[in-house]
Amino acid sequence: MGKVIISSDKSPKAIGPYSQAVKLEEANLTFTSGQIPLDLKTGKLVSNNFEKQAIQVLENIKGIIKERNCQLDDIIKLTVYLTDLTNFDSLNKIFENFFSNSSFPARSVVEVSKLPKDSLLEIEAVFYDK
């Protein structure tokens, strides 16, 4: 299978030796790297507030999806890493609002001990890339 490296200026640059996303051409699938709540302009965490961080992470994923001329409906699966599972209910409310006009993707949520830049969450996505 051929793969294409995806790089978007609509989402923060990778903070390490990895790509923002990779597309498998024959399968029309794109896999994003984990996105954390970095502000596109400053490259720093947007806030210490969980809700603000979650919204920023979803906006960063949306930036990659838009770069590919795709939509939120094209997301197939999200994997969410939280440093505190007590934020699970807040996460669900944010997802309900963010995906209000589309179908919900499949999702897994896992608690982890720590994330890059002391982020409270990280999300990776798989989406259909026509």
Which residue, among 69, 68, 121, has the nearest Cα to 95 in the 3D structure? 121
CATH number for domain 3-128, candidates 3.30.1330.40, 3.30.360.10, 3.30.70.20, 3.40.430.10: 3.30.1330.40
Q: What are the CA-CA distances from residue 118 to residues 1, 7, 36, 38, 102 (Å)?
A: 36, 24, 10, 11, 31
Each domain of the chain, given as residue ranges in start order, spans: 3-128
The answer to whether the predicted template modeling score (pTM) of the entire model surpasses 0.75 is: yes
Per-residue model confidence as pLDDT tens digits over 72-97: 999 999 999 999 999 999 999 999 99
At 2 the pLDDT is 82
If pLDDT is split at 50, 70 and 90, which confidence band does 69 have?
A: very high
Supply the mean pLDDT for the chain: 93
At 26 the pLDDT is 85
- Is residue 41 pLDDT above 70, yes or no? yes
If pLDDT is split at 50, 70 and 90, which confidence band does 60 have?
A: very high
Expressed in angstroms, the distance from the first to the final Cα of the chain is 16
**Collapsing DSSP states into helix, strand and coil, what is residue 102?**
coil
At 47 the pLDDT is 96
Tell me the sheet residues that pair with 94.
Answer: none
If pLDDT is split at 50, 70 and 90, which confidence band does 1 have?
A: low
At 105 the pLDDT is 93
